Amino acid sequence: MTTINDSSILYFSENTSNIDKDNIFEFIKNTEKLNILIKANELLHITTTHHNKILFVYSPPKVGSTSIVSSLRIFGLDKIDTIHIHDEEMLQVLGHIKGITINELILFNKYLGKNVYVINIYRSPIERKISSFFEKIGCYHFNTTEQNINKYNVDKIINRFNNIFPYIETGDHFMDKYCITIPESFDYNKKYSLVKENNITYITLRLKDSSQWGTILTGILGFNICIVKDYESSNKCIKNIYNLFKKVYKIPINFLDQIKKCKYLNY
């Protein structure tokens, strides 16, 4: 095993207490990875905080995660650190950080003695595909401005959407990314599922229950949270064509059959 360098030992001595250092060194197999994790914490401003609670909103894009992040930063600013991340590519874009996974970063902060929470959000596949499609629809799909998209015939928009429908992602981080033992079924009564693994609290919510997120998260995190709406497509400059699309779109039967077989939706 590669020897941990002096600066890394100093980092742990300054940032940890009452935890098993041997387990940390077993988890961090080499100096290079340890230093990357330290750099990631610095980039995300985790090293400058005095909060013991840290929450990773680690979910796919276009599922309503921005609303939860904004709400937690408003109502929990003095209580918890909130990190918003979709995937490893975000770390590369934000800070040129490569060589670690988001799961390793989450575990790393648990080994630093943090009380760590991870939140996933599930959005039903048709809604999510529509939202993803309309994200930067002008430059991605029609090589024009989003203002011009409002002038397009909705049939043209529908035709393009149907052409790429099968290829728009509908994965779910709770099932695909967290590497945890998920419950046999979603808790439909509580409207969330919670798993504690490796002393980390993993939570999955559904966008359709967003009106109850405040109550759910207040109970889990122990401080009052109200959910604020943020970054809705219906409020952006494409809102006219977006709202018209949702009003008139009818999903082809073969696509509906595919959706019915979706393992994430069925779960």
pLDDT per residue over 62-100, tens digit each?
Answer: 999 999 999 999 999 889 999 999 999 988 888 888 989
Higher local confidence (pLDDT), 116 or 10 = 116
Q: Of 22-31, 58-67, 230-239, which has the strongest mean pLDDT?
A: 58-67
Q: Is 257 helix (H, G, I), strand (E, B) or coil?
A: helix
Same domain, 89 and 162: no
Instruction: Report whether pLDDT(210) > 70.
Output: yes
Q: Is residue 96 one of the residues assigned to a domain? A: yes
Give me the chain's average pLDDT, please: 87
- Please give the pLDDT value at position 235: 56
Q: Which whole number is the average pLDDT over 96-109?
A: 91
Q: Report pLDDT for 209.
A: 96
Structural domain range at position 262:
125-169+232-266
| CA 91 – CA 208 distance, rounded (Å) | 29
Characterize 137-159 residue by residue with b for buried, 16 or more Cβ atoms within 10 angstroms of its Cβ, and e for exposed: bbeebeeeebeebeebeeeebee
Residue 1 lies in a domain: no
pLDDT at 194: 97
Is residue 34 scored above 50 in pLDDT? yes
Decide if 150 contacts 56 (C-beta within 8 A).
no
Shared domain for 137 and 28, answered yes or no, is no
List pLDDT tens digits, range 149-174: 989 999 999 999 999 999 998 899 99
Q: What gap in Å lies between CA 20 and CA 203, rounded to an integer?
A: 26
The helix (run of H) or strand (run of E) holding residue 201 is strand 200-206
202 is a domain residue: yes
Distances (CA, A) of 5 to 31, 32, 105, 264: 7, 10, 19, 44
Question: Residue 236: is its pLDDT beyond 80?
Answer: no
**What is the largest distance, in Å, between two alpha-carbon atoms of the chain?**
64
The highest-confidence range among 9-18, 36-45, 228-237, by mean pLDDT, is: 36-45
**CB-count exposure of residue 105 (10 Å: 0-12, 13-18, 19+):** buried
Work out the pLDDT band at 18, boundaries 50, 70, 90.
very low
Is residue 227 assigned to a domain?
Answer: no
In this structure, are 68 and 13 located in the same domain?
yes
Do 135 and 183 lie in a common domain?
no
Structurally, the chain folds into a number of domains equal to 2
Task: State the pTM of this model.
Answer: 0.86
Residue 95 lies in a domain: yes
Radius of gyration from C-alpha coordinates of the chain: 21
Residues 64 and 180 in one domain: yes
Q: Is pLDDT above 70 for 29?
A: no
Across the strands, what pairs with 82? 55
Name 200's Cβ contacts closer than 8 Å, sequence gap at least 6: 106, 107, 110, 116, 117, 118
Residue 226 lies inside a defined structural domain of this protein: no
Q: What is the DSSP letter of 249?
A: -
- Between CA 180 and CA 203 the distance in angstroms is 11
Listed range (118-127, 133-142, 230-239, 254-263) with the worst mean pLDDT:
230-239
In terms of domains, do 155 and 74 share one?
no
Residues 52 and 95 in one domain: yes
Q: Is residue 196 part of a domain?
A: yes
With a pLDDT cut of 70, the percent of the chain lying above it is 86
Q: Higher-confidence residue: 42 or 209?
A: 209
129 shares a domain with 110:
no
- In terms of domains, do 176 and 237 share one? no
111 and 37 Cβ atoms separated by less than 8 Å: no
Please tell me the predicted confidence (pLDDT) of residue 91.
87
Query: Could you give the CA distance from residue 114 to residue 135 in angstroms, rounded to a whole number?
Result: 35
Q: Place 125 in a pLDDT band, splitting at 50, 70 and 90.
A: very high
Mean pLDDT to the nearest integer, 234-263: 90
Q: How far is CA 205 from CA 85, 209, 232, 254, in A?
A: 16, 7, 18, 28
Residue 213 lies in a domain: yes
Q: Does one domain contain both 213 and 119? A: yes
Cβ–Cβ under 8 Å, residues 89 and 60: no
User: What phi-psi label fits residue 247: left (phi over 0), alpha (psi between -120 and 50 degrees) or beta?
Assistant: alpha
149, 53: one domain? no
Q: Is the pLDDT of residue 5 over 70?
A: no
State the helix-helix crossing angle for 65-75 and 213-221, rounded to 10 degrees: 50
Of the two residues 62 and 4, the one the predictor is more confident about is 62
Same domain, residue pair 147 and 258? yes
Which residue type sits at 152? Y
